Structure 1
Amino acid sequence: MIIEEYVRNFLNERMSAPVLLQIPKKDIPSSFYLIEKTGGLMTNHIKRSTLTIQSYGESLYDASVLNEKLKFAMEYHAIELSEIVSIELDGDYNFTDTTSKKYRYQAVFDIVHY
């Protein structure tokens, strides 16, 4: 299983909004999380991946609240997964899509894993 699937499965058990690996073409939820791997490397069989997780909400406030819940779950609970060695939040910020007018926040995590 790839790191995106481990994180998605973990978050789907804990978050109130669905966690996706891609946006569906139809029946898009009003609030959801979207996981994307944006980089990675491996040294001595230990992997390091950069994941961005976008929190989509009906309003900017809703997206911000989802983002805060996400950061808490990732920083304090995802480390419990046996595949994960460490998690570091690189940063988070308003990432509203001006083209589609969808409110979202983005959090960037560096994850060391097996």
Structure 2
Amino acid sequence: MKMLAEKLILDYLSKVLPDILVTLETSTDSNYVLIERVGGLESDGVARVSFAIQSYGKTLLEACALNDRVKSAMRNIINLNPVSKVDLDSDYNWTDETTKKYRYQAVYDLVLFL
């Protein structure tokens, strides 16, 4: 069975950020990281996938600091076997106006060999 890109990132970030909840679903925790696949395609055993990684914090500063930790961790995901490329498209404050939760979002493009 091939590795799901979502599971790869979930497992990796959970390991390198052991003190933070890393999830694929929203949480009631104050500080956590939410992984959301926002695009991708697969051809000839190569997957090109895009992810939005959202860092939530109790304060705007906590969300910003968590986003920096995520970016630092994602720089090293290139060392995982199926990952051949990782690019940070953008990162920015994206506070949720509906829920009034502070968050930053970093958008990544990855290339994986399946």
TM-score by length of 1: 0.92
1:41 aligns with 2:32: no
1:19 aligns with 2:22: yes
Match of 1:98 in 2: 97
- Give the gaps of 5 or more residues in structure 1: none
- Give the gaps of 5 or more residues in structure 2: none
Give the letter for the 2:6 counterpart.
Answer: E
In the alignment, the residues of structure 1 paired with residue 11 and residue 21 of structure 2 have an alpha-carbon distance, to the nearest angstrom, of: 10
After the TM superposition, list the runs of 4 or more consecutive aligned residues in structure 1 that deviate by more than 4 angstroms: none
Match of 1:70 in 2: 70
In the alignment, the residues of structure 2 paired with residue 59 and residue 73 of structure 1 have an alpha-carbon distance, to the nearest angstrom, of: 21
In the alignment, the residues of structure 2 paired with residue 41 and residue 21 of structure 1 have an alpha-carbon distance, to the nearest angstrom, of: 20
Give the letter for the 1:100 counterpart.
Answer: T
Match of 1:6 in 2: 8
In the alignment, the residues of structure 1 paired with residue 26 and residue 86 of structure 2 have an alpha-carbon distance, to the nearest angstrom, of: 25
Report the identity percentage.
41
Between the two proteins, the alignment pairs up a number of residues equal to: 110
CA RMSD in angstroms comes to: 0.9
Shift of 1:44: 2.5
Give the letter for the 2:4 counterpart.
Answer: I
In the alignment, the residues of structure 1 paired with residue 72 and residue 59 of structure 2 have an alpha-carbon distance, to the nearest angstrom, of: 20
Match of 1:61 in 2: 61
Shift of 1:80: 1.1
In the alignment, the residues of structure 1 paired with residue 29 and residue 9 of structure 2 have an alpha-carbon distance, to the nearest angstrom, of: 19
